[in-house]
Amino acid sequence: ELKVEQNPLFLSMQEGKNYTIYCNYSTTSDRLYWYRQDPGKSLESLFVLLSNGAVKQEGRLMASLDTKARLSTLHITAAVHDLSATYFCAGGPTGAGNMLTFGGGTRLMVKP
Amino acid sequence: DADVTQTPRNRITKTGKRIMLECSQTKGHDRMYWYRQDPGLGLRLIYYSFDVKDINKGEISDGYSVSRQAQAKFSLSLESAIPNQTALYFCATSLLGRDAGELFFGEGSRLTVL
């Protein structure tokens, strides 16, 4: 059974700073997804990582996947207030189709 | 209009009542899911359906049932609601295939059981 752990669970940071959210998973997963959720809203897909070494960037966010280390990271560069949200990673066991297991989420607050 | 629509968006009910949450989608996706979100626990899968004739239990199916009325419709029922089913419920859809495993979520249905 795949288990997905994110850390930190809560992150308060100043605008302009850099930080990384970590997503560890317990068994083989050949794909990893990152989602964003604004308070009271739905989840929005950010990144889809489908192979070892995959790196994707969108604006101030960059996600990477290391399947050998069972680790994905979401790096935030020069944070701005608009990035304040909860970020979830989700992994899928190899061969399990679209079945995803979600991490507990990282609540990010970016202060001016 | 949203591609994945959930109704109701908010519902307050009493213990023992039967509740149905409905989900419809216009994305043309075959696969549909029901997830439950509790603070600090992420999302947990309740049921999923890969097509109209295929229904599968997820991680936390006890106390819930589902019906896939059509490719575009997937409803979640709580036959006898209890307070620990108070949560935010999400319907999601996806395409077939490994490279299309990305989930598309509805707006959520907030359920409170008193």
Strands A10-14 and A106-111: parallel
Strands A55-58 and A61-66: antiparallel
* Residue A36 touches chain B, beta carbons under 8 Å: no
Q: Provide the pLDDT confidence category of residue B97 given band limits of 50, 70 and 90.
A: low
The encoded tokens of residue A75 equal 């790096």
Alpha carbon of residue A108 to chain centroid: 11
Rounded distance between C-alpha atoms, residue B111 and residue B113, angstroms: 7
Task: Give me the residue from B35, B42, B108 closest to A104, CB to CB.
Answer: B42
Alpha carbon of residue B3 to chain centroid: 15
Q: Give mean pLDDT in consecutive 10-residue pieces for chain A, a chain of 112 residues.
A: 91 95 86 92 92 92 93 96 96 69 94 90
Q: Is B36:B88 a contact under the CB 8 Å cutoff? A: yes
Q: Note the residue count of chain A.
A: 112
Q: Is B31:B94 a contact under the CB 8 Å cutoff? A: yes
The encoded tokens of residue B64 equal 């819930």
Q: Show Cβ contacts of residue B78 under 8 Å, excluding neighbours closer than 6 positions.
A: B18, B19, B20, B63, B64, B85, B111
Tell me: the pLDDT tens digits for B33-51? 999 999 877 899 999 998 8
From chain B, the residues in CB contact with A90 under 8 A are 43, 103
DSSP string of B70-86, one letter each residue: ETTEEEEEESS--GGG-
Rounded distance between C-alpha atoms, residue B105 and residue B44, angstroms: 14
Question: Which residue do the tokens 């079945």 mark?
Answer: A99
Which pLDDT does position A26 carry in this prediction?
87
* Residue B89 touches chain A, beta carbons under 8 Å: no
